[in-house]
């Protein structure tokens, strides 16, 4: 089998086009990411995840989705449960931390069960960002609170719940998106906080969960660390902060390369991300011309990253699933308190 390339791609619709199937077979990405445009029914989605893996001849290739609950949910009713936003668990934690941890674990296990049954084995969750009062609402109710220890504790409960259901968590957006005053989907945020402030608050949940297998970068300029480049493409942020101070040594992926926070061609974004020290680039929108440009610029998965990927996938070879009816009943009881 040919060497996997250091990229995760999206696709355009609910089934692969002939062009996409041919392109993915040639490009050989390490995996794929799904969005609402790809998700209509359980049967359709199981067929799509099977098609994607068939293209690259990999039975356990990572297939990602952002299924946080609340407003960030690619799977929605009537076929899938509408899970609460993270804020529901943050609010419960303010009243009773033990109940919040139990409720969040049940909620995320139910999410993980749904994903696993669809052939999805990576959920881009939890959000470990700590929103500040003047920040853009892009994080907002997706956060587990404003106190680092609480965010870390709830974040770990979410990670462990996913892993129990044989789904990999992705901690995001490392090293912290909570101070951004603009949405990085549309603009490049610049954070002026001093390094000491970032270390004392923003980095703390990521340090606490640095043992997790996957992390996603923030497209944010931290002026105290690198005033010229966002974290995703900054060797200083990746090496000195994410790998160094925070201590994350798992697989590091970029946030979506097609977000407006990044500048330059897609080839330039791809190369800059990998040169900064990220293991994988993420391209989400399914636009073929953009994916072709990324594919020309991306390198093979490094030997170190390939070893990490093998180790990471081994974490979800076995699972113990939750009883759905009992879990839902208990979750509703806890959230009503």
Catalytic status, residue 79: no
Please give the Cα distance from 24 to 57 (Å, whole number): 10
Phi, psi of 48 (to 5 degrees): -65, -45
Please give the Cα distance from 218 to 231 (Å, whole number): 6
Which pLDDT score is estimated for 58?
97
**Token code pair at residue 214:** 């996957």
Which pLDDT score is estimated for 11?
98
Which pLDDT score is estimated for 337?
78
Residues 6+ apart with CB under 8 A from 200: none
126-143 pLDDT, tens per residue?
999 999 998 999 999 999
What is the model's pTM?
Answer: 0.97
Find out if CATH 3.90.1010.10 is the number for domain 5-13+63-283+307-336: no
Which pLDDT score is estimated for 202?
98
Please give the Cα distance from 21 to 73 (Å, whole number): 26
Do 115 and 123 contact (CB within 8 A), yes or no? yes
Cβ atoms within 10 Å, residue 223: 14
Which pLDDT score is estimated for 2?
72
Catalytic status, residue 173: no
Do 40 and 14 contact (CB within 8 A), yes or no? yes
Which pLDDT score is estimated for 123?
98
Q: 43, 98, 185, 323: which one is catalytic?
A: 185
The pLDDT mean for the chain works out to: 97
Please give the Cα distance from 328 to 107 (Å, whole number): 8
Cα atoms found within 13 Å of the Cα of residue 311, Cβ hemisphere only: 13
Q: 136, 141, 226, 255: which one is catalytic?
A: 255
β-strands 5-9, 280-283 pairing? parallel
Question: Could you tell me which of 198, 71, 65, 68 has the C-alpha nearest to residue 138?
Answer: 71
pLDDT beneath 50: ranges in the chain: none
């Amino acid at each position: 089998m040919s060497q996997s390339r250091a990229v995760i791609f999206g696709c355009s619709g609910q089934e692969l086009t002939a062009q996409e199937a041919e392109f993915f077979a040639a490009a050989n990405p390490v995996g794929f990411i799904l969005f609402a445009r790809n998700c209509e029914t359980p049967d359709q989605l199981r067929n799509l995840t099977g098609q994607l893996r068939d293209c690259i001849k990999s039975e356990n290739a990572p297939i990602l989705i952002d299924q946080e609950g609340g407003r960030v949910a690619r799977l929605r009713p009537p076929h899938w449960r509408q899970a609460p936003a993270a804020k529901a668990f943050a609010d419960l934690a303010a009243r009773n931390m033990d109940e919040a941890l139990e409720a969040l674990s049940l909620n995320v296990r139910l999410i993980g069960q749904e994903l696993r049954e669809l052939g999805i084995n990576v959920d881009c969750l939890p959000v470990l960002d700590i929103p500040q009062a003047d920040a853009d609402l892009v994080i907002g109710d997706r956060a587990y609170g404003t106190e680092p220890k609480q965010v870390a504790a709830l974040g770990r409960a979410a990670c462990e719940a996913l892993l129990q259901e044989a789904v990999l968590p992705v901690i995001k957006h490392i090293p912290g998106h909570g101070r951004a005053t603009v949405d990085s989907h549309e603009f490049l945020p610049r954070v002026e906080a001093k390094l000491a402030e970032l270390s004392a608050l923003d980095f703390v949940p990521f340090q606490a969960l640095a043992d997790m297998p996957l992390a996603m970068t923030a497209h944010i300029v931290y002026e105290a660390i690198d005033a010229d480049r966002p974290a995703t493409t900054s060797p200083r942020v990746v090496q000195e902060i994410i790998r160094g101070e925070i201590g994350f040594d798992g697989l590091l992926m970029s946030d979506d390369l097609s977000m407006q926070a990044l500048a330059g061609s897609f080839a330039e974004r791809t190369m800059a991300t990998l040169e900064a020290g990220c293991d994988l680039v993420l391209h989400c929108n399914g636009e073929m011309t953009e994916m072709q440009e990324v594919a020309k610029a991306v390198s093979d998965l490094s030997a170190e990253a390939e070893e990490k990927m093998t180790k990471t996938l081994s974490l979800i070879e076995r699972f113990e699933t939750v009883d759905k009816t009992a879990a839902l009943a208990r979750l509703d009881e806890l959230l009503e308190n």
